[in-house]
Chain A
Amino acid sequence: MPPTTQRCSVHDQRPAFARCMSCSKMLCQECATQWDGIWHCAACLGSKRGAVVQRSPFFGWVGVVTLSLMMLFAGARVMVWMAALIAGLF
């Protein structure tokens, strides 16, 4: 059986141009829309736009920022301690 060329899932007569990264449907040039570097079909893009954006929890932000600052502060201290330790060896 000869291999068949992929067709657009909306327009049977058109060759496929891209694949929707959400629902995996094949799409022609007219049906495919790129958003943030990724191809989507109209339905998936619509549902993405309509979906309520899940916000990161406030305590998540506080935790990440606090922990990052602690890591940076500890990084600076350890940098000096290790430097003094290594310098003391020579």
Chain B
Amino acid sequence: MIHTPLSTTAVLDEAADAVSMTAAPWAGVLIATALPYRFLQALFLDQLFEVGSGASHYGNLLGMTANVTVATILLALWGRAVYARACRLALARGSAPGAEALRVRPAALASYVLTASTAMLLGYLGLFTILGFFVAVMFSGIAIGTMELNDRVSITAPFGRIFRYTKRIAVPFALVFIFFFAMFVALINLAAAFQLGQWLAGALGGFDAPNWQQLFSGGNRRFMLILFGGAIVIVEPFWIAAHVIFVRKAGAEESGDDLRTWFDELRRTA
């Protein structure tokens, strides 16, 4: 049911509802499939920091890690597709979907792999421009939102659908910046959770507190990389749900479904 007109706050409100409905087990599926990709991204960055300015001499090492990282993205994309479908079903029914969330149409998944891999490539190419990177992130968000609209395999149609939704560019652009800051909030919370766990474990005794303190500190590069990966994993379910809702709301506005539903609700309550 479409409750409110399209706006960033309405999308975020409904995304929170969608995540609470799909948290078990579908957010778990999303996180489990995303973990290998995020760990390998952290490993790649760790190796990059390790070799530093001599990175151009370690092409084989970095290339091997990059290949494995890109291979694991396929699993992560499948997890995202399942989660997006679970969100759509939950929004349509008002309750958590069952195993039918796993039945992602092959054409939709193939189209999503194409658009997401294009977004990834654009993201890496746009790293230097900063703005280009954010545009690629926005593109990737709309790609997961429009994934289920692709009922036939085509090279151009999925991109056409994404561009159709960029007419309402203010909302996805606002979502990119909101989730960028949300990632830092998640990072701080995750770091605090580690500190709390360490403090509680220290109170038990027989625990090498100074050593763990060193490992779970900001000075440990690997710990920081894992924290960043963890923060992205925490924010991802909300990010996907927000884009599924954005596409649904924007599509309803275009077709007039939102007005029909609103009038029906008014008639029912009158």
Binding site for B on A (CB under 8 A): 2-6, 16, 19, 24, 34, 36-38, 54, 56-57, 60-61, 63-65, 67-68, 71-80, 82-84, 86-88, 90
Which of A4, A19, A82, A87: most chain B Cβ within 10 A?
A: A87
Q: How far is the CA of A64 from the CA of B158 in the complex (A)?
A: 11
Is B92 within 8 A of A64, CB to CB? no
CB distance from A66 to the nearest CB of B (A): 9
The closest CB in chain A to the CB of B127 belongs to A82
Q: Which residue in chain B gives the minimum CB-CB distance to A86?
A: B127
Residues of A close to B69: CB separation below 8 A: 76, 79
Chain A: CB-nearest residue to B269: A3
Contact A64 B110 (CB under 8 A): yes
> Does A87 contact B53, Cβ atoms closer than 8 Å?
yes
Give the interface size bracket for B toward A. 35 or more
Mostly, the A contact residues are: helix
- A sample of 24 cross-chain residue pairs with beta-carbon separation below 8 angstroms, ordered by A number, consists of A3-B266, A5-B268, A6-B267, A6-B268, A37-B92, A38-B92, A56-B154, A60-B152, A60-B154, A64-B113, A64-B153, A67-B155, A68-B110, A71-B118, A71-B121, A76-B70, A80-B63, A82-B128, A83-B44, A83-B55, A84-B59, A86-B127, A87-B51, A88-B56
Set of chain A residues within 8 Å of B264, measured between Cβ atoms: 6, 16, 19
Check A37/B153 contact, CB under 8 A, given A3-B270, A71-B114, A72-B73. Answer: no
A-facing residues in B96-124 (Cβ within 8 Å): 97, 100, 107, 110-111, 113-114, 117-118, 120-121, 124
Closest-CB distance, B222 to chain A (whole angstroms):
17
Determine whether the beta carbon of A60 is less than 8 Å from that of B155.
yes
Closest residue of chain A to B123 (Cβ to Cβ) is A75
If A6-B267, A64-B111 touch, whether A79 touches B117 (CB-CB below 8 Å) is no
The answer to whether B152 touches A54, judged by C-beta atoms less than 8 angstroms apart, is: yes
> A55 CB to closest chain B CB, in angstroms?
8
Q: Answer whether residue B52 sits at the interface, using C-beta atoms and an 8 A cutoff.
A: yes
Q: Please tell me if the beta carbons of A79 and B66 are within 8 angstroms of each other in the complex.
A: yes
Residue of B nearest to A90 (CB): B53
Q: Does B168 contact A (CB under 8 A)?
A: no
- Residues of B38-74 at the interface with A, using a CB-CB cut-off of 8 Å, are 44, 48, 51-56, 59, 62-63, 66-67, 69-71, 73-74
B124 near A75: Cβ-Cβ < 8 Å:
yes
Query: Are B55's CB and A88's CB within 8 A?
Result: yes
Residues of A within 8 Å of B97, CB to CB, are 37
> How far apart sit A28 and B118, CA to CA, in the bound complex (Å)?
45
Question: CA–CA, A5 to B265, complex, Å?
Answer: 10
Residues of A within 8 A of B92 (CB): 34, 37-38
Report yes or no: B153 in contact with A57, Cβ–Cβ below 8 A: yes
Q: Give Cα A90 to B88, complex, Å.
A: 45
Task: Report yes or no: A76 in contact with B48, Cβ–Cβ below 8 A.
Answer: no
Q: Report yes or no: A84 in contact with B55, Cβ–Cβ below 8 A.
A: yes
For B118, what are the chain A residues with a Cβ–Cβ distance below 8 Å? 71
